Amino acid sequence: MTTTTDFLSHLNSSQRQAVEHFCGPLLVVAGAGSGKTRALTYRISNLILKHRVHPENILAVTFTNKAAREMKERMQKLFAEQVAVSRYGKPFEKLAAHEQTHLRSHVYKEYIKELWVGTFHSLFSRILRFDIDKYQDEKGRKWNRNFSIFDESDAQSLVKEIVTKQLNLDDKKFEPRSVRYAISNAKNQGISPQDFEREQPNYRGRVIAEVYNHYQDRLAANNALDFDDLILVPVKLFEQNEQVLGYWHNKFRHILVDEYQDTNRIQYDLIRLLATNGETRKNEWDWRNRSIFVVGDADQSIYSFRMADFTILLEFQENFGDNLPDEDTRTMVKLEENYRSRENILEAANELISNNSQRIDKVLKPTRGAGEQIYLYKAEDEIAEADFVVNQIRNLESKHPEMHWGSFAILYRTNAQSRPFEELLVRRGIPYTIVGGLKFYDRKEIKDVIAYLRAIANPADTVSLLRVINTPRRGIGKATIDNLVKASQELSLPLWEILSDETSVNTLAGRSAKGVNSFAQIIRYWQEQLDTVSPAQIVQGVLEDSNYVKDLQTQGTDESLERVANVQELYNAVLQFEEEHEDATLGSFLASTALTSDLDNLKEGQTAVSLLTLHASKGLEFPVVFLVGLEQGLFPNFRSLDDPASLEEERRLCYVGITRAQERLYISYARERRLYGSREPAIASQFLGELPKELLTSGKQTRVVSNSFAAKSRSTSTGESRSTSVGVQNWQVGDRILHKTFGIGEITHILGSGNKVSLAIAFPNLNQKKIIDPRIAQLEKV
Ligand code: ATP
Ligand code: MG
């Protein structure tokens, strides 16, 4: 094995400094694309190759499992290159194929296999496999090493069972998903069932505390942990048992964390315990042969909804290196060159993020030529937007030999936005994948609603009937369902014939009969309407009658609200289908969806266009990026419009999105977007006004930049009570207005500035806020 470190020539001097630093704490802060992840990967290699650190003494935390895999692959390549020279006296690429294969597997066995690289969850569940038997919780509950990991749906079923069977409570009042959410939140803040009851002594609080208590009992009885436990239990175990902590502290002499700005307090506790053994490290001696190395960018902190807290990054030096001499130079390295993006893209990102007040200014210099201007496209609506994007992808792919489908990424704010893009990509035969998520028609809520529709269009479809007979819950138990199915098999009758006959149901279903009958009634009613009403009306009716959306809304979690958005997007899909097909029927719509979901299996080795949310795009890069749906209320999202801190997080998200692009960036928005089935005028995102005008182009098709939105302005503010003049009107927060369709409302916010003002108006009739362009909508003050 060689000690050559010529691979360090792939790094700039600051990166080298970070990589070569051996002991003690080190924080690398730098903007997007500056080579933080590369520095982290090379640092691991350097520890092994130069400092002879054993791979099993290294722990590296990545944000996703995919990132962990990629990091290992990169290291395997790097090691193979190094070893090739010392072993064979020639570079890796000059070796014969069998030598290369041999070397790769040698490197894997010798170095990569022993490395601990992964997400917090995967690494710490591994630690628990060794030591969980030494842990007991505050009530003396114990687990053994074969513990199961309950995923979210297992955890919810458990909560449901406790609510309905053990405590005999109404699961409509104590909806399992929202109870589970409350428990998870409590666990993540270290709140025990007893504390929970003390903090929320009302009836609901007491009940949830009781469910929580049983829930923990049941997890223990099943020798199971949920996702939260995978982080929490190690913290408690380390605090409880010095020997266990001592062992892992001794093992992991070098700890590395990527994307440190999205660490939460409990994850930080884990890292701190492991790195310091719970002691204060006062001097260099305390850090001999050990290090803690974290990299991050506070401007890319986008997971505050999962309790991530970027002040943990800002406090790193204080927490780990405060009393070391010469702390600034020794515990922090800044990287200032960006290697990823063309200069125009980078400058746009830098300008945008400079509008945030909660940040530390930093330098991010381009190393690549200016590149092309950023292309801005104003579409008529979301369908035209998808059409534009897919056409551009097709053109670029055919014109540029270096580009393939994998060169393109479409980034959006909410999952529901993927639908029009997916449909068009399928129609044009372009392969695509959804990164970090499911394709639209594979999402649970979409499958549920489609199952209702299939059951209505084709009652012989027993699979669909069974999928939704108790979704949302109608108190129909498994035994009842088994009874009904058995009867249909024994009588050789389709299940529907039994379900649709009240007398049979009353006989077979016992206490669940009411639920079964109400389900059958919904299906029957809409079957009767099939020939007289439109598919969209059926979808809307079924969603209402089944309480499907209402059920999700009452759960009120981020996840359930996202499902609502997806269901609403399905409704949009039906409307679109009707517009495109004069003779649309429910059957023809269902046939089209079946095709969309079927056509997409990637062939081995085939590359594909990536579709992903901005949140899932962190750390990734693509030659060509399409950032879509840049509209007020969508991105930035509605909730951030009256909350300055969330607005800054949205801006960070936009910064993440822009900085994913290497060569070209396209930004689009629609003039009108179908939301909840009705067409709403949309307003360009305020972020667009924050991008330098000279970097943008709208090509030949449209002249967006010059006409449609205000030049770069830093005065866009939200939530302030200020007045502005649009035409003759002088709008003020608090004004009551009359809108032709929506009726009386009250202005809650004035958005934008100059001649591009829009109003957020709360309409009590609709129980909803809407963003309205006062010049289009003709509002009257009342
Ligand atoms: P992010 O903040 O988005 O996670 P990052 O700081 O982790 O970005 P990397 O992904 O490590 O940045 O690097 C961005 C790109 O620049 C990668 O393609 C990487 O290979 C390349 N790169 C990094 N450092 C150098 C360098 N010294 N010379 C040339 N290319 C580099
Ligand atoms: Mg990175």
Closest ligand 1 atom to residue 660 Cα is 3
Rounded Cα–Cα distance for residues 410 and 596 (Å):
18
Rounded Cα–Cα distance for residues 485 and 464 (Å):
13
Rounded Cα–Cα distance for residues 461 and 454 (Å):
7
8 Å CB contact between 187 and 229? yes
The three-state secondary structure class of 494 is coil
For ligand 1, atom 18, the nearest C-alpha belongs to: 340
Q: How far is the CA of 40 from the centre of ligand 2 (A)?
A: 9
Name the one residue in this structure whose structure tokens are 């959306």.
Answer: 549
Q: What letter would DSSP give residue 111?
A: I
Q: How far is the CA of 9 from the centre of ligand 1 (A)?
A: 14
Name the one residue in this structure whose structure tokens are 């309480």.
Answer: 547
Question: Beta strands 736-739 and 743-751: pairing type?
Answer: antiparallel
Q: With 80 as the cut, is the pLDDT of residue 741 above it?
A: no
Q: Is the dihedral of CA 349, 351, 352, 353 positive or negative?
A: positive
pLDDT at 356: 94
Q: Which residues pair with 771 in a beta bridge?
A: 760
The answer to whether the annotation marks 718 as part of a ligand binding site is no
Structure tokens at 551: 């059920």
DSSP string, 523-589: HHHHHHHTTTS-HHHHHHHHHHHTTHHHHHHHH--HHHHHHHHHHHHHHHHHHHHHHH-TT--HHHH
Closest ligand 1 atom to residue 41 Cα is 11
For ligand 1, atom 15, the nearest C-alpha belongs to: 340
pLDDT at 782: 84
8 Å CB contact between 119 and 68? yes
Q: Which of 762, 750, 773 is nearest to 641 (CA)?
A: 750
pLDDT at 605: 63
The answer to whether the annotation marks 515 as part of a ligand binding site is no
8 Å CB contact between 121 and 231? yes
Q: How far is the CA of 340 from the centre of ligand 2 (A)?
A: 11
Rounded Cα–Cα distance for residues 46 and 671 (Å):
52
8 Å CB contact between 682 and 674? no
Structure tokens at 547: 């309480």
Binned at pLDDT 50, 70 and 90, residue 758 comes out as low
pLDDT at 674: 85
Closest ligand 1 atom to residue 300 Cα is 2
Q: Of the ranges 325-334, 357-366, 632-641, which one carries the lowest mean pLDDT score?
A: 325-334
pLDDT at 325: 54
pLDDT at 729: 61
Rounded Cα–Cα distance for residues 272 and 320 (Å):
8
The amino acid occupying position 199 is E
The answer to whether the annotation marks 31 as part of a ligand binding site is yes
Binned at pLDDT 50, 70 and 90, residue 603 comes out as low
Please compute, for residue 184, the number of CA atoms within 13 A of its CA located in the half-sphere on the CB side: 20
Q: Looking at the CA of 38, which ligand is closest?
A: 1
Q: How far is the CA of 99 from the centre of ligand 2 (A)?
A: 32
Binned at pLDDT 50, 70 and 90, residue 558 comes out as confident
SS (H, E, C) 251-301: HCCEEEECCHHHCEHHHHHHHHHHHHCCCCCCCHHHHCCCEEEEEECHHHC
8 Å CB contact between 665 and 658? yes
For ligand 1, atom 2, the nearest C-alpha belongs to: 32
**Residue 728: CB atoms within 10 Å:** 5
The answer to whether the annotation marks 414 as part of a ligand binding site is no
Q: Looking at the CA of 13, which ligand is closest?
A: 1
The amino acid occupying position 708 is S
- 707 sits in which H/E element: helix 704-707
Q: How far is the CA of 64 from the centre of ligand 2 (A)?
A: 11
Rounded Cα–Cα distance for residues 131 and 134 (Å):
6
Active site residues: 36-37, 258-259, 300, 660
8 Å CB contact between 415 and 613? yes
Q: What is the mean pLDDT of residues 26-41?
A: 95
The amino acid occupying position 337 is E
Q: Looking at the CA of 620, which ligand is closest?
A: 1
Q: With 80 as the cut, is the pLDDT of residue 715 above it?
A: no
> C-alpha 413: how far from its chain's center?
9
Rounded Cα–Cα distance for residues 48 and 556 (Å):
49
8 Å CB contact between 682 and 631? yes
Binned at pLDDT 50, 70 and 90, residue 722 comes out as very low
Phi, psi values for residue 126, rounded to 5°: -65, -40
Binned at pLDDT 50, 70 and 90, residue 323 comes out as low
The amino acid occupying position 329 is T
Q: How far is the CA of 39 from the centre of ligand 2 (A)?
A: 9
Q: Looking at the CA of 659, which ligand is closest?
A: 1
Q: What is the mean pLDDT of residues 743-747?
A: 86
Q: Which residues pair with 377 in a beta bridge?
A: 668
Q: How far is the CA of 34 from the centre of ligand 1 (A)?
A: 5
pLDDT at 61: 97
**Residue 620: CB atoms within 10 Å:** 19
ipTM for the predicted complex comes to 0.99
Q: Is there a cis peptide before residue 636, judged by omega within 30 degrees of 0? A: yes
Q: What is the mean pLDDT of residues 99-120?
A: 91
For ligand 1, atom 8, the nearest C-alpha belongs to: 33
Rounded Cα–Cα distance for residues 695 and 691 (Å):
8
86 vs 624, residue with greater confidence = 624
Contacts of 660 (CB under 8 A, 6+ apart): 409, 411, 617, 620, 621, 622, 625
DSSP string, 165-181: IIS---TTTT-HHHHHH
Total length of the chain: 782
For ligand 1, atom 25, the nearest C-alpha belongs to: 35
Name the one residue in this structure whose structure tokens are 């199961």.
Answer: 148
Rounded Cα–Cα distance for residues 684 and 782 (Å):
28
Q: Which of 680, 673, 686, 670 is nearest to 750 (CA)?
A: 686
The answer to whether the annotation marks 753 as part of a ligand binding site is no
The structure's pTM equals 0.80
Average pLDDT of the residues of the chain? 87
Q: Which residues pair with 26 in a beta bridge?
A: 293
Please choose from 337, 339, 660 the residue to mutate so as to test ligand 1's pocket, defined by most ligand atoms within 8 A of CB: 339
Q: With 50 as the cut, is the pLDDT of residue 704 above it?
A: no
Name the one residue in this structure whose structure tokens are 């819950």.
Answer: 473
619 vs 600, residue with greater confidence = 619
Q: What is the mean pLDDT of residues 466-473?
A: 92
8 Å CB contact between 386 and 380? no
Rounded Cα–Cα distance for residues 104 and 77 (Å):
8
The answer to whether the annotation marks 37 as part of a ligand binding site is yes
Q: With 90 as the cut, is the pLDDT of residue 766 above it?
A: no
Contacts of 583 (CB under 8 A, 6+ apart): none
Binned at pLDDT 50, 70 and 90, residue 717 comes out as very low
pLDDT at 53: 95
Q: Which residues pair with 117 in a beta bridge?
A: 60
For ligand 1, atom 24, the nearest C-alpha belongs to: 35
Rounded Cα–Cα distance for residues 516 and 399 (Å):
58
The amino acid occupying position 549 is V
8 Å CB contact between 726 and 689? no
Closest ligand 1 atom to residue 619 Cα is 4
Closest ligand 1 atom to residue 338 Cα is 16
CA angle 449, 454, 455 (to 5 degrees): 100
Q: Which of 675, 668, 732 is nearest to 701 (CA)?
A: 668
The answer to whether the annotation marks 30 as part of a ligand binding site is yes
Closest ligand 1 atom to residue 11 Cα is 27
Q: Looking at the CA of 656, which ligand is closest?
A: 1
Q: How far is the CA of 603 from the centre of ligand 2 (A)?
A: 29
Residues lining ligand 1, judged by CB closer than 6 Å?
10-12, 15, 30, 32-38, 297, 300, 339-340, 619, 621, 659
Q: How far is the CA of 32 from the centre of ligand 2 (A)?
A: 7
The answer to whether the annotation marks 155 as part of a ligand binding site is no
Closest ligand 1 atom to residue 12 Cα is 27
